[in-house]
Amino acid sequence: MRKKLIAGNWKMNGLKADAKALAADIFAKATPNMPFDMLVCPPMNVLGFVAELPHSGVFVGAQDVAETIKSNGAFTGDVSAAMVKDLGATWTLVGHSERRQYHGETNAIVKQKALNAINEGLTVVICIGETLAERETGKAVEVVRAQTRECVPNEATAENCVIAYEPVWAIGTGKVPTTADVAEIHAAVRDEIAKVLGTETADKMRILYGGSVKPENAKELLNVENVDGALIGGASLKADSFFAIAEAVK
Ligand code: PEP
């Protein structure tokens, strides 16, 4: 039985005062025995600060790690997985579509980042998802299968890796795929994980849905077969809406 994961991606939101207030609200609502895992991914400027707050029942993660296998060196602006861990975070996202879109990250880069995270003992959430053009030309399944195959390192396990399916056209737009489309993609992703890592790992690995998840649609999306949680952007910036989504896990 896969425990659902409710993950919040704060993106580039969080001056110190805002991050402190949001983290305090979320951590105050969380309890150790919630029927789901919960993760928050603040931006790098406040990651250490959030990770140092008491956060029982909630994991804290980064939104990205550096591509280089080095943990330090001449890589201006980069933050290595070792540095993320040193800040007190235990998880990280990699391959978010905004990284792919604005920073030209390829599947090969995402795979290297995922491996760096795993090698450092972090749990990694690998984001994949098709663009609108790919969806409209009937290529969605093919694209996410290739992304899964090309981004998941052989070292991944159900314990150190989670996949997040986030159709690019659904992120921040208020649009969501049909539940049938979500089910089709999640089944394909699990099948592809099985090819890379074997069926036992594939059966246990969590596959999240992300893209305009709100309290109003959470129940429907979280009940789709093979949907093991949600990666939430906008609605994770308020503790009330974040927990209202989590409440849909029963
Ligand atoms: C995201 O950025 O990962 C995301 C899913 O954003 P939103 O929930 O705002 O669509």
Give yes or no for residue 213 CB within 6 A of ligand 1. yes
pLDDT, tens digit (0-9, with 9 covering 90-100), for 22-72: 999 999 999 988 999 999 999 999 999 999 999 999 999 999 999 999 999
Return phi, psi of residue 232, to 5°.
-120, 130
Give yes or no for residue 233 CB within 6 A of ligand 1. yes
Return phi, psi of residue 87, to 5°.
-75, -10
- DSSP H helices in the chain: 16-29, 44-52, 81-86, 97-103, 107-119, 132-136, 140-151, 179-197, 199-204, 215-222, 239-246
170 Cα nearest atom in ligand 1: 10
Q: Is the pTM of this model over 0.95?
A: yes
> What does the pLDDT read at residue 250?
74
What lies within 8 Å, CB to CB, of 235 at 6+ separation is 213, 214, 215, 241, 242, 245
Give distance in angstroms: CA of 236 to centre of ligand 1: 9
Q: Are strands 91-94 and 58-62 parallel, antiparallel or unpaired?
A: parallel
> What does the pLDDT read at residue 1?
86
b/e map 176-200, b = 16+ CB within 10 Å:
bbebeebebbbebbbebbeebbeee
Rounded CA separation 118/81 (Å): 9
Spans of the chain below 70 pLDDT: none
What lies within 8 Å, CB to CB, of 147 at 6+ separation is 95, 107, 128, 129
CA atoms within 13 A on the CB side of 125: 35
166 part of the active site: yes
Q: Is residue 49 within 8 Å of 19, Cβ to Cβ?
A: yes
What lies within 8 Å, CB to CB, of 93 at 6+ separation is 9, 41, 61, 62, 63, 64, 124, 125, 127, 164, 231
Element at 37 (helix H, strand E): strand 37-41
Give distance in angstroms: CA of 73 to centre of ligand 1: 32
Q: Which of 45, 152, 196, 167 is nearest to 96 (CA)?
A: 167
Fold of 5-249: TIM Barrel (3.20.20)
103 part of the active site: no
Domain residue ranges in the chain: 5-249
Q: What DSSP designation does 104 have?
A: -
The amino acid at residue 47 is L
Q: Are strands 37-41 and 229-232 parallel, antiparallel or unpaired?
A: unpaired
Give distance in angstroms: CA of 171 to centre of ligand 1: 5
> What does the pLDDT read at residue 51?
98
